[in-house]
Amino acid sequence: MLLVVGTLLALLGLGVALGGGTLLVLNQTQRDADGYFTTPSGAFRSPGNAITSQEIDLGAEQDVNWASGLEGLARIRVAARATVREGVLFIGIGPRDAVDAYLGGVARSQVTSVEFHPFRPTYREIAGLRTPSRPGAQGFWAARAQGSGVTQLQWDVTGGRWELVVMNASGARPVAADVRLGVKIDALVPVAVGLLVGGLVLLAGGLTMFIFGTRAGGRPEPPAGGLDDATLPPGTTGP
């Protein structure tokens, strides 16, 4: 039993420790100067009035415990540059229901998936004829940014159901932009260290159990028939 349990604990500990170590390596080598993990820049385009993400489901806003648990956990950064003549770009993150109401009847392209090698976004095209009012005039955005050149939005993750929207500042069509996403996880180092230490403890415990189990398994057992001839006093014989 010790052999089996020790082996399982050692394997589990090794996996957890490797996970923690990998996170520490990634934290040191894959972040940019501001501490963000970023995607490659990619070209997104919509013949309609907006490019949107799918719903970003971070739990119900009414779930206070869930929402408060996300506070300060991560920050999202969206950097974009318009590639059409319009030139002035708007980026916003807002509650899903409010975004859907604002863009109701508006033609837009919803990003459903992205491949990076090579870069290839997939869209769900939503038809519409209505021209929306300027996005910057709306008051429901949790985070927004607008400008020419590279426009950058930063948003502290919180509970709720959200959508990311990229539009021309005027609300006109079409929309085309190079976009790069980034995420900064402040709790990554403590989590990685915890995984590494916990994994090493499990590994050490598993190896200890394995060693004791091996010794116990290799200990000779007494013969089933009792004393053998070698244990009898001199001058006597066995039965």
Which tops the pLDDT comparison, 213 or 81? 81
**Model confidence at 160: pLDDT above 80:** yes
Dist. CA 120–CA 131, nearest whole Å: 28
Burial 53-65 (b: 16+ CB within 10 A, else e): beeeebeeeeeee
Dist. CA 51–CA 174, nearest whole Å: 10
**Model confidence at 25: pLDDT above 50:** yes
Highest mean pLDDT pick, 69-73, 115-119, 205-209, 227-231: 115-119
The answer to whether 46 and 174 have CB atoms below 8 angstroms apart is yes
The pLDDT confidence band at residue 206, using thresholds 50, 70 and 90, is low
pLDDT digits (tens, 9 = 90+) for 76-85: 999 999 998 7
Of 92-96, 134-138, 234-238, least confident by mean pLDDT is 234-238
| Domain topology for 32-189 | Jelly Rolls (2.60.120)
> Do β-strands 74-82 and 150-156 pair in parallel, antiparallel, or remain unpaired?
antiparallel
Dist. CA 62–CA 38, nearest whole Å: 31
pLDDT digits (tens, 9 = 90+) for 163-179: 999 999 999 999 999 99
The pLDDT confidence band at residue 99, using thresholds 50, 70 and 90, is very high
pLDDT digits (tens, 9 = 90+) for 49-59: 999 999 988 76
Burial 195-231 (b: 16+ CB within 10 A, else e): bbeebbebbebbbebbeebeeeeeeeeeeeeeeeeee
Of 111-120, 145-154, 204-213, least confident by mean pLDDT is 204-213
Dist. CA 23–CA 26, nearest whole Å: 5
The DSSP code for 131 is P
Structure tokens at 157: 């993750």
pLDDT digits (tens, 9 = 90+) for 38-47: 888 999 999 9
Mean pLDDT of the chain: 79
H/E run at residue 156: strand 150-156
**pTM of the model as a whole:** 0.69
**DSSP string for residues in 167-198:** EETT--S-EEEEEEEEEEETTHHHHHHHHHHH
Name the nearest CA neighbour of 193 among 9, 17, 10.
17
**Model confidence at 226: pLDDT above 60:** no
The DSSP code for 135 is G
Structure tokens at 190: 């403590």
